[in-house]
Structure 1
Amino acid sequence: MKIKNNFIVRNFFVFHPTKNEEECKICRNSFKGSYTTNMKRHLLQHHEAAYLSEMEKNKVNEPAEKKRKFEITMSRREMKEVLEKIVTNVPAETLESAPFKALSEQIFAGLEMKPEDFLNAQES
């Protein structure tokens, strides 16, 4: 899949070996070297519709972003104190938002407790 993606990116450019430059076929902008990362960045910033259209025609999907593991070294007490400060200082609509819930679910899983239990304890 990566090779096909690079092939599509390169189709938007003409390589001039004497100058060691790639030239965009759409806007005639030139780049030193022949690096697909720079070419793709140019396409996404300046010709996104054309690039995505070509990707769709060729049924090429971007690879999924790699997931990374983040670790925080904190005692349960320290983490609960931080969560308590967040819950008491952050607007309710933020606490109910999907991004915050996605993040907090991971934190509560690490604490081996349910978010509802923590919130109920804070209200009492």
Structure 2
Amino acid sequence: MMSVGMYQNVLNATGEGVPGWLIGGHAHLGVLSIIAIVLGVAIPTLGMADRYRTLVTWTFIPGQWGLPLVPWLAVGGGLEVLHPTAFLSGGLLIVSMLVLTWQAAVAPEAEPGERGDPESIVADD
């Protein structure tokens, strides 16, 4: 992720400019990486059943990596046949987020530390 940003800086510094497909893939990977961190906190906090935890995780992971890789490979790598797979990756991300949102909506209210893994406690910062 950082190396792609550095490469983009080199392209800008040399006056070549950064192609849109490289910017789009970099932005998707950055935002989705942040969402992955949020998922790592939200899933255990909500105390989701194993089947929902598995569904959210395994629809998010291929979506997270597929969405930025499609423009890089399809446009940058010349593998244009991969363009339709962006819809599959995006669809997987949508399923992941919808299930997580639904679980957050139906989760019973609980005191802090009452749900999820008893070993993980949110800090009092």
* TM-score, normalization by structure 2: 0.20
More helix by share: 2
More strand by share: 1
Considering Cα pairs closer than 8 Å and 6+ residues apart, tell me whether 1 or 2 has the greater RCO.
2
Q: Whose radius of gyration is greater, 1 or 2?
A: 1
